[in-house]
Amino acid sequence: MTSPPFRAGQINLPLDLPASYSRADFVPAPCNAHALQMITQGGWPAGKLVLTGPEGAGKTHLLHVWAAEHDAALLRAQHLDGADLPALAERGNVALDDAHQIAGQPELEAALFHLHNLLAASGGQVLLGARAPVRDWGLRLPDLASRLQAAAHVGLAAPDDALLAAVLTKLFADRQVSVPDTLIPYLLPRMERSLGGALHIVALLDAAALARKKPISRNLAAEILNGLSDPE
């Protein structure tokens, strides 16, 4: 008796399956080596660094690593509106994710400008994660644009096959799941090419295998991937 075709959404994944953002769970690779070095060594000019890269490249993970190691406040830049900026500055170190999304929002641009100045006055540090360099954000506050454009900048490349393979291997190992040697090479050209995509496909495969009480196989992966591409 064959199993019914898989359809995306029929497996209910737990909502508490976030990626682990610890330093031990960050997988080094050539595409992120320079960014990791910049985050680790510190000593940025004027105490500020802009970390850029496409979605799923690992920016958020590196922001968490730096924040944990420097007792930094960590928040999305959109949450600066209404935030206690002096209290943030008193922490000495602040990490802001999705910083590019403040562009064109006067209140947020003004808040970041004020926070920047408070940190600069106290010798604090700020790490900003964004999709693109500051010059491409479309900031309307000239003083903020000039100050952020003067920050050190390091880019993350999109995850390559070596990184995705290492991440998939680690994710399966973390779940204590054995997979055939052919599985990861099969997944690489077919999955969403991001670290979040790796987490999602591993979770789906594990859940499907548990539901059917069968080991993860290339055939199961093909079924899952076909279901993702044909959700109806």
Distance CA 114, CA 85 (A): 8
The fraction of the chain above a pLDDT of 90, given in percent, is 69
Query: For 142-198, what is each residue's pLDDT tens digit?
Result: 999 999 999 999 999 888 899 999 999 999 998 999 999 999 999 999 999 888 889
For the domain 161-229, what is the CATH code?
Answer: 1.10.8.60
pLDDT number for residue 16: 37
In the chain, CATH 3.40.50.300 sits at 30-155
pLDDT at residue 1 in the model = 45
Give percent helix, percent strand, percent coil of the chain, each to the nearest 5. 50, 10, 40
Q: How far apart are CA 142 and CA 146, in angstroms?
A: 6
Angle, CA of 33, 35 and 36, to the nearest 5°: 65
Output the pLDDT for position 105.
96
CATH 1.10.8.60 range(s) for the chain read 161-229
User: What pLDDT, on the 0 to 100 scale, is given for residue 229?
Assistant: 65
pLDDT given at position 15: 33
pLDDT score at 95: 97
Which CATH architecture is the domain 30-155 placed in? 3-Layer(aba) Sandwich (3.40)
Note the pTM of the prediction, 2 decimals.
Answer: 0.79
Whether the predicted pLDDT of 13 surpasses 90? no
Confidence bin at 18 (pLDDT 50/70/90): very low
Under DSSP, the state recorded for 131 is S
The average pLDDT across 9-29 equals 63
Per the CB < 8 A criterion, the answer to whether 94 and 124 are in contact is yes
- Predicted confidence at residue 19, as pLDDT, reads 56
The torsion defined by the Cα of 230, 164, 220 and 231, in degrees rounded to 10, comes to -10
Give the model's pLDDT for residue 20: 72
Residue with more model confidence, 2 or 26? 26
115 vs 10, more confident: 115
Please name which of 37, 39, 52 lies closest in space to residue 93, comparing C-alpha atoms: 39
Token pair, residue 162, equals 């070596």
Alpha helices in 42-91 (DSSP H): 59-69, 85-91
